[in-house]
Amino acid sequence: MKILILGAGKMGSFFCDLLSFDHDVAVYDPNPERLRFTFNCQRFSSLDEVDDFNPQLVINASTVKYTLDAFKAVLPHLGPTAILSDIASVKTGLPEFYASCGHSFVSTHPMFGPTFASLSNLSNENAIIISEGDHLGKVFFRDLYSRLHLHIEEYTFEEHDLTIAYSLSIPFASTLVFASTMKHQDAPGTTFKRHMAIADGLMSEDDYLLSEILFNPNTSSQLSKISDKLAELKEIVDTRDSERMKAYLDRVRDNLK
């Protein structure tokens, strides 16, 4: 299959490495310097080069901020049967785009990123495939993710957004609150250092990505839950209520099962 990857960043390069030995792969990036880190593929720095390549599948690995712009830019250079795909963690605007673009599509979300995951060992990671997508496209990505030993779930766009509000917005918000109240420690404990490592990794992400994940319409209700539980914990601490503290800790342990 002829596959065009949009974006030669970490995820674009990862998919190039993953696919290039079984498929005819080309990578497009407007910054030629980023193409130096792609191998065993054709390298395009101009969209005009896509015309002759005539891809059957386009994998949009651009950063979230430019996902829609990248699709719109490449559309005039694609044949009518090309399947569009994205791996975006934020699907805002994509359902509407796909509905009007005139191409079949498949949308997935590998629930791992280059910041925290080991891309060489993904057996404990997950992936979401959006159910509204093209059947053959979904089969392709299901097979691809299965070969990586990922756990796969199939959700609608709406279910995906709800999941992201829970699985990303809560830890993101909790980490931001921790980091915003943090002071330098000359002799930090193990737990503090682990939280610090998570905070450092999170803050290395693109500001636009962090904002868009937190701007998910479902995030506010999740933040309210954090606020309520924090208020409860503060009251327990203020009153030094040992019985309520034990009950609180027992509930937390139950949640972790």
pLDDT the model gives residue 64: 87
pLDDT at residue 93 is higher than 60:
yes
Structure tokens at 44: 């395009």
pLDDT the model gives residue 212: 81
Mean pLDDT of 132-136: 97
Q: Dmax over Cα atoms in the chain, in whole Å?
A: 72
**Position 122 confidence tier, pLDDT thresholds 50, 70, 90:** confident
pLDDT at residue 167 is higher than 90:
no
Note the pLDDT tens digit of each residue in 182-207. Answer: 888 888 899 999 999 999 988 988 88
pLDDT at residue 157 is higher than 90:
yes
Exposed, middle or buried, 90 (CB in 10 Å: 0-12/13-18/19+)?
Answer: buried
Question: Would you tell me how many other CB atoms lie within 10 Å of the CB of residue 212?
Answer: 17
Choose among 95, 152, 162: nearest CA to 128. Answer: 152
Q: How far is CA 32 from CA 35, 53, 149, in A?
A: 5, 18, 33
Backbone angles phi and psi of 174, in degrees to 5: -60, -40
pLDDT at residue 119 is higher than 90:
no
Q: In the chain, what percentage of residues exceed pLDDT 70?
A: 97
pLDDT the model gives residue 130: 98
Highest mean pLDDT among 78-82, 168-172, 208-212: 78-82
pLDDT the model gives residue 185: 83
Q: How far is CA 195 from CA 136, 171, 173, 190, in A?
A: 42, 11, 13, 9
